[in-house]
Each structure stands twice: as C-alpha cells, then as structure tokens.
C-alpha cells in the first residue's frame, strides 16, 4: 500500500512533537490505515508492537503520538489502527502506548498526565510493587 499523505493524513506539530492528523472525517470503529514496513524483534523509538516479540516500522505509525485518552488503537492481528471514536478533520490521531507496547525504547513524560510512559510491562511491575508495599502497611 502506498500512502498518499496529502489525501489521508497531514504530518505536523502535535502534542508530543510531530504528529499525524486526519484530513477527512473517520467514523468510530473504522480502519484508519494498515501498517506496512520492516519488522524487528525489539522496540525502537518509531516502531509499533504487533506481536509479543515483533514490532513494525511503518512511516505513518511511527509518527502517531501517545495520549492517555486516545482516539485510536492498534489491532495487532490485522496490523491496523482502528478509531475508538469519531475523528474529525484536523484532529490528531493518537493511541495509548501503555496499552499496546510492552516496553518503550525511549520512555518519556506524558504531557497530559505527567507520568513516565514506559509500556505496559513496566506499568504492571509498578502496580505489583505498589500492591506489595500497600499490603505491608495493613
């Protein structure tokens, strides 16, 4: 699939640097696009996880920013971005890295929640540590 960026997406400054913006209305549940590209067995700064140990380098997906209240999600089986809600022309397309990525190659502080975004494995480890510590105080 060849991307015609001028008709499907606009790449410009977003919430975490460069982002991907809709150039048409996208309905909830719609496939936004299907990822294509080289696969690697480790996370990179621009890859998206599509299986337990498989990540894809897609030129659009690598520019989609994180949000704690995303409007898209990754369907790993179809390697697609799916809209979680109606997306209007001009809206930035985002997904929650902590919901899709096990580990991030480049953790960062989120602009909306001010937490360190590390991926779901670290998130789960932190939750387990908190649960253990809170159990010690009872």
How do residues 44-53 score in pLDDT, each as one tens digit? 999 999 999 9
Q: Is residue 80 part of a domain?
A: yes
**Structure confidence by residue, pLDDT tens digits, 58-100:** 999 999 999 999 999 999 999 999 999 999 999 999 999 999 9
Q: Is residue 128 part of a domain?
A: no
Q: Is residue 107 part of a domain?
A: no
In this prediction the pTM is 0.82
Domain CATH for 27:
2.170.270.10
**Parallel, antiparallel, or unpaired for β 9-14 and 17-22?**
antiparallel
Count of domains forming the chain: 1
Q: Is residue 112 part of a domain?
A: no
Cα-Cα-Cα-Cα torsion 58, 64, 66, 72, nearest 10 degrees, comes to -90
């Amino acid at each position: 699939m060849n991307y015609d960026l001028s008709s499907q997406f606009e790449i410009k400054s977003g919430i975490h640097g460069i982002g991907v913006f809709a150039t048409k209305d996208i309905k909830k549940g719609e496939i936004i696009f299907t990822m294509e590209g080289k696969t690697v067995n480790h996370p990179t700064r621009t890859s998206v996880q599509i299986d337990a140990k498989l990540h894809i380098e897609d030129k659009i997906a690598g520019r989609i920013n994180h949000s704690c209240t995303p409007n898209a999600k990754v369907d790993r089986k179809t390697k697609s971005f799916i809209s979680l809600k109606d997306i209007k022309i001009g809206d930035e397309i985002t997904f929650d890295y902590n919901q899709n990525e096990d580990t991030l190659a480049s953790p960062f502080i989120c602009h909306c929640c001010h937490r360190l975004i590390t991926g779901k494995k670290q998130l789960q480890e932190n939750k387990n540590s908190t649960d253990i510590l809170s159990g010690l105080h009872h």
